[in-house]
Amino acid sequence: MEAAKYSVGLDIGTTKIVAIIGRENEYGKIEVVGIGRSKSLGVHRGVVNNITQTIQSIQQAVEQAQANSGLTIEEVTVGIAGQHIRSLQHSDYITRPDSEEVISDGDLDKLCNQVYKLVMLPGEEIIHVLPQEYKVDGQAEIKAPKGMYGGRLEANFHVVVGQISSIKNIGRCIKSAGLDLQNITLEPLASANAVLSQEEKEAGVALIDIGGGTTDLAIFKDGIIRHTAVIPFGGNVVTEDIKEGCSIIEKQAELLKIKFGSAWPGENKDNEIVSIPGLRGREPKEITLKNLSKIIHARVVEIIEQVYLEIKNYGHEEQKKKLIAGIVLTGGGSQLKHLKQLVEYITGMDTRIGYPNEHLAGDSDTDIASPTYATAVGLLMNAVENQHRHFAGTESEEEMVLEPAGEGAQQAAGTKLERRTVFDKWADKLKEFLDNAE
């Protein structure tokens, strides 16, 4: 039972795979007890493209986390990203049989479950159904309709959709690495949980997570998720450009970017030069820092403009939808020098760098509070939350046995269980598929 208190977040990124073990302490903060990271070899732009290599990388990260913490990992919560992710807005309603009874969690779940049955394009599956606001008998802008009277309950939903094959490939990697898939979460949502404060989500904020292979965006307003997007390039394309532009190998390009890179070319003087050792006895190469930052600048501007386009698509320019808290940058790519200034310059929005220390216990390792680990910390938080739901749901499980099986039985059971069962059914389907595939 002791080990069950611990949860695990697994971030399968394009450049690194991070496994992070932790639990909630008595103050409601996340206490990290072990972390493992490995180089990610089988992932391209957030999507698994080499299963064998990804399995090895996952095992490496997990073994390291286990060695660090002295615990055994069984279940993990995983993030999903990649350019196949899209989101849409959808409205749905249910008519309640008895308007004399107050709206219960069961009604809200029935409405949510109805959205999961939406017909998607071939090869797509719904990952998340996130209610925005509710209407009861035509009365709009209700945040929590539970306990109210009404016959017609309707809601606007933010629905996140992804490719079945990509989701199954992730499931397959997890299973082959000897682990169980506890939950699958959209990465921008995980990062947002880790680095944003409630005030920012209320005021309106855009979270930009610049990873190795993808740049993820999540927009919040009035405390509710309004828009998500995954843009299929990140820090790796910057490294690629440096490699091409300076004719050097990738490892050197990556080091150059981290040590001397800047997103603002005006910063460097013409006479600042870095010398790079040549390969196998060749002459060393000399590169001016001005040129380096020009290369970086050009590519970073492209990424930011793409993200800004998404922010405009959401409707940031309308008065009601204005993002007052501006932009929060996180992910490994956010550590590029002068990036904050460049983002402010291009978008005209207030910007800060987001560190995932908001919910971490005070004595956490300083490394974990780096933007690089934002997604992993967010996934761990998600896993901890699911653990709570699971334990809270176990009491209602007995009631379910007594009730006649069927739709009504599930609604009668506690919502905490119901919220999981939507995912559970889906997870069971996935497990069944994986078992048959072998």
Is residue 395 over pLDDT 50? no
Residues 364 and 356: their CA atoms lie apart, in Å, by: 11
Whether 303 maps to a domain, the answer reads yes
| pLDDT number for residue 434 | 63
315 φ/ψ sector (left φ>0, alpha ψ -120 to 50, else beta) = left
Is residue 8 over pLDDT 80? yes
Whether 253 maps to a domain, the answer reads yes
276-308 pLDDT, tens digit per residue, is 888 888 889 999 999 999 999 999 999 999 999
| pLDDT number for residue 386 | 85
Residues 304 and 300: their CA atoms lie apart, in Å, by: 6
| pLDDT number for residue 354 | 95
State how beta strands 152-163 and 124-136 pair: antiparallel
Return the number of other C-beta atoms located less than 10 Å from residue 166's C-beta. Answer: 21
Whether 147 maps to a domain, the answer reads no
Which of 106-120, 297-311, 343-357, 394-408 is the least confident region? 394-408
Whether 13 maps to a domain, the answer reads no
Residues 268 and 294: their CA atoms lie apart, in Å, by: 10
Q: Alpha-carbon Rg of the chain, whole angstroms?
A: 23
Report residue 412's pLDDT band, with 50, 70 and 90 as the boundaries: very low
| pLDDT number for residue 168 | 93
Is residue 4 over pLDDT 60? no
Residues 190 and 81: their CA atoms lie apart, in Å, by: 11
Whether 122 maps to a domain, the answer reads no
121-174 pLDDT, tens digit per residue, is 999 999 999 999 999 999 988 999 999 999 999 999 999 999 999 999 999 999
Domain that holds residue 251: 197-357
| pLDDT number for residue 436 | 66
Q: What CATH number is given to the structural domain containing 233?
A: 3.30.420.40
93-116 pLDDT, tens digit per residue, is 999 998 889 999 999 999 999 999
48-75 pLDDT, tens digit per residue, is 999 999 999 999 999 999 999 999 999 9
Whether 79 maps to a domain, the answer reads no
State how beta strands 285-288 and 180-186 pair: unpaired
Whether 256 maps to a domain, the answer reads yes
The number of folded domains in the chain is 1
189-248 pLDDT, tens digit per residue, is 999 999 999 999 999 999 999 999 999 999 999 999 999 999 998 999 999 999 999 999
Global pTM reads 0.86
